[in-house]
Structure formats: structure tokens, C-alpha cells
Structure 1
């Protein structure tokens, strides 16, 4: 058994393209497609279907260079600011936004989202809509008081974070501290939507093994409440496959709003 410490997503080299290929592609042998693709799209459709999460500005802090979680969000927010921790993630995302040669193919997720829509005949190309909505892609530093220094971001109506708190937190205190940083990006009464893994310990990208913070649903819920949030939605699903590339028990999607 490998006894070496796992790498940290935000401190060690992270191959964002390999992550997309391993967990978010249309390859038939991809182990966790139902968890990383279907669950995300379904959960975000449900969260936004209620209709009370909307506004001018949405800030996204998510793992790697994923975009499919923003399909539903782009229906309710015209301006999306994406924060990324390293240059490789930024370059990969901008390659897709600018429709450059070699950009990662997201057509399979766009088709899946379209099939879920009741009025699919009137469905606008969701990838085009997300591209138009992404106004800025900004690098951030978790250890700075203002993560995007010297840039000061406008307050957001919603913050989305997909699998990020899991991979940047080593302890419960880390998780709460970073959650607090994310919540400071919000307007009073703003919303936060989190996707995370429960009972997780690691995930691999290529030959690299990365740390994942181990927690349960109770901890995530209490962390949000402790930071002044009221929980509006929570969906937990056990993993649908077993593979050595990642170890986790379930996935959680939880949405909450900040008390004014």
C-alpha cells in the first residue's frame, strides 16, 4: 500500500484536463458517470426549478475546469464569475469558453440536460448560454483575506462550489474557515449551493492521488447553519459504482440562503 501523503489540490500540480477525461468525459468505461455527470445536472435542475435563486451575479468556485453544473444556473444569472486556483484550470476553461481547437467536449452533458427539459424543442444551446454568461475567469489565493487581491469582486447573489471544499480542507476547522470565506462573497440573503463527497478519503487524477476531507451529512449541515445559513434543499445519494480511482460513500447537494 502507498504510504506517501496524498497531494493537495490547491498546493500541488493538478492536471485539469486529465481530471475531465477521468471523471466527466463521454467514455463508456468511465466509472462514476452517474455520480459526476447525471447527479450534478439533476440536482442543479431541482434546485433552480423552485425559482427563488436568481439575480445578477453568480460566483463559481469548483473543482478543475467543469462547466456542466452551470447549465441551469445560466437560466437565472446573466453574469457568472469563475474563480480558479491554478493556471492549468484557467487555461483549460478559457480554451472551452473561447471555442478554441482542442477544447474539452461537453456535448454529451448538454444533450443530457436538453433531454431533461420539458420544452426541449425550444431549448437554447446551453453551452452557448454558459459561454456568454461567463464574464470573468479569475485566479484566487485561499490564504489571502481578499482571495482575488488586488481585484475586488462585486457581491454575489449566489455562490456555487462543487467538490472544492472537500479537496482544500484537511480538518473541520479548515472546512468552516473556507466556507466562511466563500460566504463573504455573498449579498445579505444570498444563496450558496454545495456539492460534496461524503465518507471520502482520496481521488486520483492520472497517477496522482489527491486528498479528500472526510465528513458526513450532519457535519455539512451544521457547518452551514453555524455560518448563518438556512438550508433550503438537501439531496444525498450513495455512490453508484466502485472503482479504485476514488474512494467515497455518497454525494451531497445542499442549497441554503444567508440570513439577512
Structure 2
């Protein structure tokens, strides 16, 4: 399939459950677990344990309905406001938050988090903390000046964005434009945590291929610095799984703060 025919996540949408099953389910752990689950959990643990990223409000702007990247955050922020583009993602996420029948099972991710933190005794308490923090799931429109209109959000102490920029940006100028919009939701001096995939072109969900922006570590770094961020940590992990679902070569994790 030619890349020009690839669909865009934020325009066309996809089956959110199929995406979760494919990349984040317990069954998928043997294929994708080291990259999609363990790497972000480990990096977030290391970042938050440094102790300087904390506060009242975190805003999450991430792809799909994943929540495993928020297990560490709930210990350091009272409120996590999740912004989603698609109603299906909101419904999927709320199903888990409200413990509804048929919700995606994240127990394996919680267990991984407990193992990484060496604190398996507090597994159930951890899931409860995440659910308590995730009481605000808000629809957003990326093209509006105020993405959450008519709601005016308070500025966040920290924003985490996991692989969303990669899927919504048609080119590098788009990436920078959206990064700038995300940055406006952040307090001066606030922190941004970015997780992305490097040198990728597509993701397959079901029968459809979805666009991923191709970029490298140097571009990610320069984009953040260009928007007034100071990079505090950057980790790159080469791809470990073998699958034709997506063609990325590495994962990137960046923690940065916005200059006052």
C-alpha cells in the first residue's frame, strides 16, 4: 500500500479495542511487551523518582485508550485530565475507569508496574489510585484555538503525550505546530514528557494502515528546544520485536521543562 493511501488516526479513527489487543494485551506481551509496556513504565518510574516533576494537575494527550503510562503519574499528581480526539476512545477509557463489564483488562500492565517498582503488595491500591485520578476525560478538537472548547482547562504542571504527535502530524511542520498547541496547556516552568516512535511510516489496525510521521531523535530534540523546552532526560531504545504491524526502528522518551 502506498503511503499516500494510509489513513490518519485523528481523521478516520479505528477500532480502539483491536488496537489495544494488538499492542498492549497480555497475549501481546511476548511480542510487544518490552517496547510498548516495559520501556515506558521503566522510564516514567525513573523520571518521577527524581522528585522534581509533581503538582496538582497533569494533562494526558496520548493515542488510543491506553492507561499503563499513567501508573507512576498518579503518585505525583492529584488530578489527571485526559484529552481524547475520538468518542470511541473516551468510551473505552471510561469503561475501565468505571469498572464496567467488558472493559479492557490492564491487570498485566499493573503487575508489570508493581514488579518494576518492587511493590506488588500495593497492586490493587495502585489501580484504585489511577482510577481516582482519571475522573476527567475530555473531548478535544486539535484544530480549535481552545482544543477543549467550551471548557477552559487550568494550566497543567505536567503534560504527557505518548505517540499522539507521531500519528496526527502529516509532516514535520505539523508536528511542531501541534507541539506548540500542547505547550500552551502548560504552566511556565512546567514539564513535558514525550514518548514516540522513530523512523516509522505506518501502523496496521485490522485491514487498514495508518500514517506515522517519519522523524529521528535529532528532529525530536530540536523541535522541543525550538519551542522553549530544556531537555532533562532522553532515552532511545532500539526496536526488539519482530512484526509487520508497524515499521518503527526505535522508541524515544524525553522529559523536558518549559523555560519560564
In structure 1, the partner of 2:128 is 128
Q: 1:45 — aligned with what?
A: 45
Mean CA deviation greater in 71-80 or 11-20: 11-20
Pick closer, same or farther for the CA change 1:141–1:109 going to 2, 3 Å. same
TM score, norm. by length of structure 2: 0.97
Instruction: Report which of the two has the higher share of helix.
Output: 2
Matched with 1:256 is: 256
* Distance in 1 (alpha carbons) for counterparts of 2:198 and 2:57: 29
Q: SS in structure 2 opposite 1:32?
A: helix
CA offsets 1:88-128 (integer angstroms, 9 cap, x no match)? 00000000000000000000011111112244445662221
Q: Which residue matches 1:19?
A: 19
Aligned structure 1 segments of 4 or more residues deviating by more than 3 angstroms: 1-4, 118-124
Contact 2:201 2:214 in 1 (8 A): yes
User: Which position in structure 1 is the counterpart of 2:94?
Assistant: 94
After superposition, residues 223-234 of structure 1 pair within 5 angstroms as: 223-234=223-234
Q: Indicate the RMSD between aligned Cα atoms, in angstroms.
A: 1.4
What SS is found at the alignment partner of 1:225?
helix
Task: Indicate if the aligned counterparts of 1:61 and 1:162 stay in contact, CA closer than 8 A.
Answer: yes
The equivalences for 1:91-240 within 5 A come to 91-121=91-121, 125-240=125-240
Gaps spanning 5+ residues in structure 2: where?
Answer: none
SS class of match (1:180): helix
For residues 135 and 58 of structure 2, the distance between their equivalents in structure 1, rounded to whole angstroms, comes to 10
* CA–CA separation in structure 2 for the residues paired with 1:115 and 1:240: 20
SS at match of 1:10: helix
SS across alignment from 2:149:
coil
Q: CA deviation at 1:207?
A: 1.4
SS at match of 2:182: helix
| Structure 1, unpaired ranges of 5+ | none
The alignment covers a number of residue pairs equal to 260
Q: Secondary structure at the match of 1:161?
A: strand
Tell whether the 8 Å contact from 1:23 to 1:30 is kept in structure 2 after alignment.
no
**C-alpha contact (below 8 Å) 2:47/2:255 kept by paired residues:** yes
